[in-house]
Chains A and B, each alone.
Chain A
Amino acid sequence: MVDIADLLHKPPDPERVVWELLHRVDDPEIGVNIVDLGLVREVEVGPDGDVHIGMTLTTPTCPLGPYIRQEIENCLGETSWVGYVEVKIVWTPAWNPQTDMTDRAKRELGWIR
């Protein structure tokens, strides 16, 4: 859970807060957030509040990149301490639904009953 204080002041563990906030960004087509879908690979927060997010998409032809970038910007914009946000798309390793999706996502998508 993200506390209101975590939004107002840079917390001691900013990466955890960014990961939590990214749970609010859904893949619009699937209705499941990008963290549980296994699309977010890494989050780094610099000492000055700059955020670097490494993520993948389900395929290199996926047009969702700019949409998700906007959603991430909106989401992290709720904080007062985030500065520069860099979203870098990486293609290796390729997204694998079997290994990358969390059990929560698999449950929502009918993989697990």
Chain B
Amino acid sequence: MRLGLGLPELRGSLAGDHGPLMALGFLGTVISLERAVALQQRWGYAAPLTSGLGTLASLLGWAIPGGWLLVIAGVLLTAIFVRVLLLQPALHTAVMGAGAVAWIGAAALWLAGHGGLPMATWLAGFLVLTVCGERLELSRFTRLETSARVLFLLAAGVFGLGLLITLPDAHVGAPVVGAGLLGLAAWLARYDVARRTVRTQGITRYMAACLLAGYAWLAAAGITWMASGASYGWSYDAKLHTIFLGFVMSMVFGHAPVIVPSVLGVAVPYRRIYWLHVAILHVGLLTRVLGDATASLTLWRAGGILNEVSILLFIIVTAITSTRATRERSRGRRFSRSGGIPRTSV
């Protein structure tokens, strides 16, 4: 709709609210559901449930109850991380917990009517810190030295400082956020296990390629935020979509074979066709950002359409793969000695 396509409108401000609804409503619900599944405690499901209800309320036009529910969902997700920290204290969990706190900040800003850059910055804070915390955790496979952890803390600290400064003064805060993003991208490119696993094959290589492409976009985001500060217009489109599409959506595409079984309980085996929607996403975003850089409406629109095509294709391919896998699985299941199918429980 925002690309100027003649699509039917559901609700007045829906197109303008697609950022928080995608970041908190869709990704936030999936992420909190993922954590609740991992925690294996019933109360943890209150976070995705509240987030889902908040999103539904917002979609139906009940902005205030919807906003409050999203704030509460952020608090519940933070509580999950506090529980995990009590279970196993670790820096990477604290970083993901800081991401959940950024969710609360973003939802509160949205509720208070402070949309635009400050809210978008805190939405980015939620997703960037969540992903970076996960990557820090996985970097333990590569025998991370203390100096590398210090560098991570430095980059994350600059990013967090930028988030805080954005509240009173977005013009000062935005370049600091950019420096933090660039620092985190450089750290990930240097220390992430994906550098090694991209040389393997199959699903592992696919996931690593998605990660590395995401890091390139995070670096591009850092440079854009540093160069354009808090300005709106063309650079605002680039500032947001390099993070939310280039970095975050690339992670989602890469991790779908793991995330979907976790949250929906259905298998999504790796298929080579997955590379297609990943390629369309990145080509589309490159076209869009070129449009932003040259103020070309044609390029911007073409890139945006490709981005939408990539997401639609991702949903369709994932649904088809999952349905086929479920069918094959039920066909291939043999009867056990007791006459039932092999049972598994976690």
A73 with B342, Cβ < 8 A, contacts A63-B37, A97-B141, A110-B142 known: yes
Taken residue by residue from 86 to 113, chain A's Cβ proximity to chain B (1 for < 8 Å, 0 otherwise) reads as: 1111010010010000000000011100
Chain A residues with Cβ below 8 Å from B207 are: 28-29
Q: Which of B292-335 contact A (CB under 8 A)?
A: 332-334
Most buried by A among B34, B204, B263: B204
Q: Report B's interface with A, CB cutoff 8 A.
A: 34-35, 37-40, 81, 84, 87-88, 90, 92-93, 96, 134, 137-138, 140-143, 193, 196-197, 200, 202-205, 207, 257-259, 261-263, 265, 267, 270, 332-334, 336-338, 342-346
Whether B88 contacts A94 by the Cβ 8 Å rule is yes
Whether B193 contacts A109 by the Cβ 8 Å rule is yes
**Chain B, residue nearest A48 (CB):** B337
9 A–B contacts, CB within 8 A, in A order: A28-B204, A28-B257, A29-B207, A31-B205, A60-B84, A61-B81, A61-B93, A64-B258, A67-B261
- Is the CB of A72 closer than 8 A to any CB of chain B? yes
Chain A residues with Cβ below 8 Å from B92 are: 59
Whether B344 contacts A60 by the Cβ 8 Å rule is no
With beta carbons under 8 angstroms apart, the residue of A61, A76, A83, A89 that contacts B337 is A83
Taken residue by residue from 59 to 71, chain A's Cβ proximity to chain B (1 for < 8 Å, 0 otherwise) reads as: 1111111110110
Quote the shortest CB–CB distance from B191 to chain A (angstroms).
Answer: 12
- Is the CB of A21 closer than 8 A to any CB of chain B? no
Quote the shortest CB–CB distance from A52 to chain B (angstroms).
Answer: 10
Chain A residues with Cβ below 8 Å from B88 are: 59-60, 91, 94
Chain B residues with Cβ below 8 Å from A109 are: 141-143, 193, 196
- Is the CB of A26 closer than 8 A to any CB of chain B? yes
Whether A66 contacts B93 by the Cβ 8 Å rule is no
**Chain B, residue nearest A82 (CB):** B342
Whether A85 contacts B257 by the Cβ 8 Å rule is no
Q: Report A's interface with B, CB cutoff 8 A.
A: 26, 28-31, 37, 48-49, 57-67, 69-70, 72-73, 76-77, 80-89, 91, 94, 97, 109-111
A89 with B346, Cβ < 8 A, contacts A66-B265, A83-B336 known: yes
A91 and B261 CA atoms in complex are apart in Å by: 21
Whether A72 contacts B90 by the Cβ 8 Å rule is no
The 8 residue pairs across chains A and B that have the minimum distance between CB atoms: A31-B204, A31-B200, A63-B262, A63-B34, A85-B344, A67-B261, A66-B261, A60-B84
Chain B residues with Cβ below 8 Å from A57 are: 38
Whether A97 contacts B143 by the Cβ 8 Å rule is yes
6 extra A-B contacts, CB within 8 A, seeds A59-B93, A70-B261? A31-B202, A58-B137, A63-B34, A67-B257, A77-B332, A110-B142
A67 and B196 CA atoms in complex are apart in Å by: 22
With beta carbons under 8 angstroms apart, the residue of A30, A65, A77, A97 that contacts B204 is A30
**Chain B, residue nearest A55 (CB):** B346
With beta carbons under 8 angstroms apart, the residue of A37, A59, A77 that contacts B137 is A59
**Chain A, residue nearest B84 (CB):** A60
Chain A residues with Cβ below 8 Å from B200 are: 31
**Chain B, residue nearest A32 (CB):** B141
Chain A residues with Cβ below 8 Å from B93 are: 59-61
Whether B337 contacts A49 by the Cβ 8 Å rule is yes
A86 and B346 CA atoms in complex are apart in Å by: 6
A82 and B337 CA atoms in complex are apart in Å by: 9
Quote the shortest CB–CB distance from B9 to chain A (angstroms).
Answer: 35
Whether A28 contacts B203 by the Cβ 8 Å rule is yes
Whether B342 contacts A69 by the Cβ 8 Å rule is no
Quote the shortest CB–CB distance from B147 to chain A (angstroms).
Answer: 17
Whether B87 contacts A60 by the Cβ 8 Å rule is yes
Chain B residues with Cβ below 8 Å from A82 are: 336, 342
**Chain A, residue nearest B211 (CB):** A29
Whether B87 contacts A91 by the Cβ 8 Å rule is yes
A62 and B92 CA atoms in complex are apart in Å by: 11
